[in-house]
Structure 1
Amino acid sequence: MGGMDIEIHPARPEEYPAVARLRWQWEVETGAAPVGDREDFAKEFAAWARAHTESHRCVVVCRNGTVIGMAWLAVVARVPTPGRFVRASGDLQSVYLVPEERSGGLGSRLIAAVLEEARALGLPKVTVQSTTRAIPVYCRNGFAASPKVLQAEL
């Protein structure tokens, strides 16, 4: 795992290509065959991330200056109610750590950083869609199943 110089922070624009490469690596790891060229994807992804900074906030974990993990907070506007015109909720998306960094607590620290960002934005709740393997990690970090959240597979 290397040195202990760990930093968790909101992704900077110059880190977006590295984040894109993590997204590509994740697809390869799960058995998908990404379409196109990895570096072209990194450029397009970085442009997408810059264009969506209000709705999709990325937090990264770096070891010795190298991006080794990411998590995204999607801020979803909600329909206004009387007395509360501005409403939003959060959705935790694309949480990923390179395989050699897993099981050391960095995933939990990354999730905590995203939840802190959600609190700072005043979001009342954050949802997450999880793989079966990752459910215990989310449960240890404050997530719980809700009988009120339903999903339709389309």
Structure 2
Amino acid sequence: MSDESSRPARLRLASFSDAESLTDMRFEWDQPGISPTEEERTSFTGSSRDGGSRRSFGVCAPSPRSTVSSLGGAWLLLHERVPNPPRFGRAGGDIQSVYFRPKYRRTGIGRDLVRLLLAEGERRGISRFTVDSNDHALRLYQGEGFVRSHLRLERTRTLGTS
């Protein structure tokens, strides 16, 4: 059940000033209890500052309290697709890194972040969206119209090996 009082007042597109908070949150999520090195912080903060570009954009849930600047965030990577007549200017969007502070789970923030990503992507002309999901978030994405694809294949290699 959602506790409306624990939800942020509004979601918005992330800006340059959100990069540090989103970086901290991302490292908290990936490596609980381990602080990023200064080099990792600089690298990630620099890449997340691309929040309003044509290649990607982020959304965030600003905290109503000044002690925590972001409750959650999400990114949509925009990419060009091979032209397909009659649509030669095709593009797609891949939802990546939907995350938020653990105490705000089950409050609707994840759904709201995804909906804002989809709305902004559609506003930018994206009609095809993809997402890699874990079991916990599957219902969220299915509730927003995503369906499983049995055709997607993946190849992963460690760079620098043959």
Equivalent residue in structure 2 for 1:89, among 77, 88, 92? 92
> Aligned residue for 1:153?
155
Q: Supply the distance in 2 between the matched residues of 1:152 and 1:87 (Cα, whole angstroms).
A: 22
Q: Supply the distance in 1 between the matched residues of 2:7 and 2:101 (Cα, whole angstroms).
A: 16
Q: Supply the distance in 2 between the matched residues of 1:7 and 1:51 (Cα, whole angstroms).
A: 21
Q: CA deviation at 1:4?
A: 5.2
SS at match of 2:10: strand
Equivalent residue in structure 2 for 1:67, among 67, 70, 73? 70
> Aligned residue for 1:105?
108
Amino acid in the other structure paired with 1:47: G
Q: Supply the distance in 2 between the matched residues of 1:142 and 1:83 (Cα, whole angstroms).
A: 25
1:66-106 CA distance string (max 9 Å, x none): 21101101001111234433210010000001100010111
TM-score (norm 1): 0.84
Tell whether the 8 Å contact from 1:74 to 1:90 is kept in structure 2 after alignment: yes
SS at match of 1:151: coil
SS at match of 1:100: helix
> Aligned residue for 1:23?
26
> Aligned residue for 1:45?
44
Amino acid in the other structure paired with 2:44: F
Tell whether the 8 Å contact from 1:20 to 1:41 is kept in structure 2 after alignment: no
Query: Cα RMSD over matched residues?
Result: 2.3
Q: Supply the distance in 1 between the matched residues of 2:101 and 2:123 (Cα, whole angstroms).
A: 27
Amino acid in the other structure paired with 1:104: T
Tell whether the 8 Å contact from 1:78 to 1:87 is kept in structure 2 after alignment: yes
Q: CA deviation at 1:40?
A: 4.0
Q: Supply the distance in 2 between the matched residues of 1:136 and 1:3 (Cα, whole angstroms).
A: 22
TM-score (norm 2): 0.81
Structure 2 alignment gaps of length 5 or more = 157-162
Q: Supply the distance in 2 between the matched residues of 1:150 and 1:3 (Cα, whole angstroms).
A: 37
Q: Supply the distance in 2 between the matched residues of 1:97 and 1:4 (Cα, whole angstroms).
A: 11
> Aligned residue for 1:78?
81
- Structure (1/2) with the larger strand percentage: 1
Amino acid in the other structure paired with 2:56: H
